[in-house]
Amino acid sequence: MTFKRIPNHPDQELLDLLRKCRLIGIHGAMGSGKSSLAKDLISLIGGTHIEVDNHLSTPRMGRTYLQQVKFVDLKSRIQESIPPIFLDCFIVLDVLERINIQADLTLFCERSVNESRWRFNPESETIFESYQTRHHPRTSAKAIFTLVYLN
């Protein structure tokens, strides 16, 4: 699988701004490059990457995504981490609302892919569509990154 991110690298102005932040939320649909963006930014400016998916209870047992999040553990992890903290979740604002923490800013990741060739999680896609209607994450983001799947 080959892909590229547009823009390929964040500009210096954005990097300077991110260095001043404590918490940066990264949201976007599944397969949009949230985790790889967080890792790339940390390699440039340092900080901590927290994936909400790593703070889910298992097994799922019919629970929704938010019902699976171990909010106490996640909040503790955020509070003890070295900034800037990049919190990565497809519905990051909903998660932050539940733990009563606000992001200093958000980044939005989107994907450009022929949907007929890729099968994403339909339940998560529905949750994300509702999230977009409520929060308008693309509009409120400080920067937008597009992951283009080439083959």
Distance between CA 73 and CA 64 in Å, rounded?
A: 18
1: confidence class by pLDDT, cuts 50, 70, 90: low
Count of structural domains, the chain: 1
- State both tokens at 15: 């990097």
CATH number at residue 23: 3.40.50.300
Q: What is the pTM of this model?
A: 0.92
Label the pairing between strands 3-6 and 143-149.
antiparallel
In tens, the pLDDT along 24-83 reads 999 999 889 999 999 999 999 999 999 999 999 987 788 899 999 999 999 999 999 999
Identify the domain containing residue 123 by its residue range: 3-149
- State both tokens at 122: 């339909």
Distance between CA 110 and CA 75 in Å, rounded?
A: 26
Q: Is the dihedral of CA 74, 33, 2, 45 positive or negative?
A: negative
What are the CA-CA distances from residue 59 to residues 74, 108, 122 (Å)? 18, 29, 19
